[in-house]
Amino acid sequence: MKIISFNVNGIRAIEKKGALLDLVEKEAPDLLFLQEIKAKSEQLSDALLMPAGYEAHYHSAEKPGYSGTGLWVRKNALQEPKVLRGMPEWNDHEGRILGVESENMIIFGNYFPNGGKSDAAWREKLVFYDHFHRYIGALRQAKKKVLFTGDLNVAHNPIDLARPKENETHVGFRPEERAWMDRLVEDQWVDVFRERNPDAVSYTWWQMQSRARERNVGWRIDYFIVDRKLFSRVKDMKHLTEHPGSDHCPIVLDIEI
């Protein structure tokens, strides 16, 4: 199974650029997870609502033009897929949690909070992180096979961003959120890219205003995370760093499930 995650930074904008359908045509994913769609379903074209060969699902934010996630499932790729939105005991009014369940496998493609707008947003980010960690732990306890992907909005270690010293106090690289990643790893959740490429320098997000992508001054904040028990099934993972259309690049996982 090929799974792609892509923070599109506006699904209508990337559609106009041709960079979304071009990705699907080139890579033919079984599952395509989208973050930051910034739109409601009624604002989308038929090509986005009914993409050829796929069933499209969206989880939009209540606030117009903000956040939101999407999922395209290739027809017949999964046995009786069930779409999951949000998580228990959490008001997901920003459309951040979107997943699919098939048999005993659950795959999420999430847009984690940035947390940089205010102190309250920062605190809520940390609560969100811990709540999601408990949620996937409960699913594991229920004998579900779990993996998740998306824009986690955190660079785990200095190797994961171009300028770690300058960003030590910057949201996205603060000790508290990096410690959450540590806890995930300790709890036997595997960062697939880093486990397979311990010394690789590769980024998934670049600030557009400073033309950072041309200079490759970026951050790795988009991940595939799998339960340790599933890691042996991973066949390949890559960053499509040359793919245009967004300030993020698509990331791709090939896994046997």
| Catalytic position from the list 30, 92, 151, 222 | 151
CB 2 within 8 A of CB 26: no
For the stretch 65-109, pLDDT in tens is: 999 999 999 999 999 999 999 999 999 999 999 999 999 999 999
Residue 46 annotated as catalytic = no
Provide the token pair at 8: 């599109």
Domains in the chain (CATH in brackets) are 2-255 (3.60.10.10)
pTM higher than 0.95: yes
**C-alpha to C-alpha distances, 33 to 37, 111, 166, 242, nearest whole angstrom:** 10, 10, 31, 19
The per-residue pLDDT for range 10-38, each reduced to its tens digit, is 999 999 999 999 999 999 999 999 999 99
Distances (CA, A) of 167 to 4, 44, 173, 188, 215: 28, 37, 7, 28, 17
Q: What digits encode the pLDDT tens for the residues 114-162?
A: 999 999 999 999 999 999 999 999 999 999 999 999 999 999 999 999 9
Number of H helices, E strands in the chain: 7, 14
